[in-house]
Amino acid sequence: MRLLAVDDDPMIVLILKRIFAQEAEVISLDSGRAALAWLEDNVCDLMLLDYRMPDMDGFEVLRILRRHSQHDDLPVILLTGDTENGLETEGFALGATDFIRKPFVPDVVRHRVRRLVRYEYLKKHLEQEVGRKTLLAESRLSESRLLFREMVVALARTVDAKDKYTSGHSERVANYACRIAKLAGESEENQEKIYYMGMLHDIGKIGVAKSIINKQASLTPEEYASIQTHTVIGFQILQSIDVFPDLAMAARCHHERYDGKGYPEHLKGQDIPRFARILAVADAYDAMTSNRSYRRILPQAQVRKEILQGRGTQFDPEFADIMLGLIDEDVNYTMREMPQHVPGKEQEV
């Protein structure tokens, strides 16, 4: 493991070197400019970056760093003794991966660095595995549908397992989206596509701390910002699947709102991809009809009211109306409990 420690305080650098003496190579630099120059010809697994430095503060280093594709995904932990309100929120918005307050506890620093490095390793190998299995599916057409489905289900269940309250969320969202797409007149091919998009729409949550996902109390602004990153992380994981680019699109855009107040791009109306607009309704319905860490299943009348109120603001009116129709048909409130149609499965032997 190679760490880049950037701090103009020699004592902080010395402490960091002692913390990781037995497990990492620590490259130390005393300014942001020196760090950016070093990164032009070198690589590291993670950067520990001081927020306050005389020539260039940590935020400016982050701004420059994230503009360069070579290092736009480099994990960066900001070190700061400041207690300003909003500091962490701004830092996360600029691309910081985590914050550590000074004076810090060595074991905390060691734990956070190990966790982030493990996550980056997992993410890179997950991307490679998804790409490898997709290529295998192309070369073995007779087995591709089954292989791809099993891979998608395994990945979706891995993500869902992080949240003890919403097991099966991805499969339910996929099924609801598939039903909406069918009623909207989409072809069987597109129904199958949106099923897989629904299965993997939350894949980016693999990069969000389990403690945040399962938190019962209200999220802090920093924790909410961390949750929001799952759309971008999911896009980064799935964009390597060139034969199915809509998978990455769905992961990135399923939290966009019809009125433009969603995230991460604040897309509005028809600028939001059609399949993402379908997923947004399906995702919201399942969120309201499933137990969550912070509340129980909502009554069906309240679910219907929320979908209706979100029509034209949070949701595309076309797909909100279809979901309202499905709710009205579900007089016994059992749609959330019933096994759903899986596109293409009936064709298998």
Secondary structure string (H, E, C) spanning 48-89: EEECCCCCCCHHHHHHHHHCCHHHCCCCEEEEECCCCCCHHH
More confident residue, 336 or 57: 57
* CATH class name, domain 2-118: alpha beta
Cα–Cα distance list, 250 to 17, 111, 230, 292 (Å): 42, 33, 12, 23
Position 288 pLDDT exceeds 90: yes
Q: 302-307: long-range contacts (C-beta < 8 A, 24 or more apart)?
A: 303/327, 304/328, 307/281
Sign of CA dihedral 210, 213, 214, 219: positive
Position 262 pLDDT exceeds 80: yes
CB 336 within 8 A of CB 172: yes
- pLDDT value at residue 143: 59
DSSP secondary structure letter of residue 30: S
Using a 10 angstrom Cβ sphere, with 0-12 exposed, 13-18 middle and 19 or more buried, the burial of residue 86 is: exposed
- pLDDT value at residue 347: 38
Helices 230-238 and 246-253: angle between axes, nearest 10 degrees: 170
Query: Which segment of 46-55, 148-157, 303-312 scores lowest on mean pLDDT?
Result: 148-157
Q: Has this prediction a pTM greater than 0.85?
A: no
Position 307 pLDDT exceeds 80: yes
DSSP secondary structure letter of residue 218: P
- pLDDT value at residue 296: 82
Mean pLDDT rounded to a whole number for the chain? 85
- pLDDT value at residue 346: 41
Q: Which fold has domain 140-347?
A: Hypothetical protein af1432 (1.10.3210)
Would you kindly state where each structural domain of the chain is located, as residue ranges?
Answer: 2-118, 140-347
Q: Number of C-alpha atoms within 13 angstroms, CB side, residue 149? A: 15
For residue 4, the surrounding DSSP H or E stretch is strand 2-6
Structure tokens at 141: 């057409």
Query: Which active-site residues does the annotation give?
Result: 205
How many other β-carbons are positioned within 10 Å of the β-carbon of residue 281?
Answer: 29
The two beta strands, 25-29 and 76-80, are: unpaired
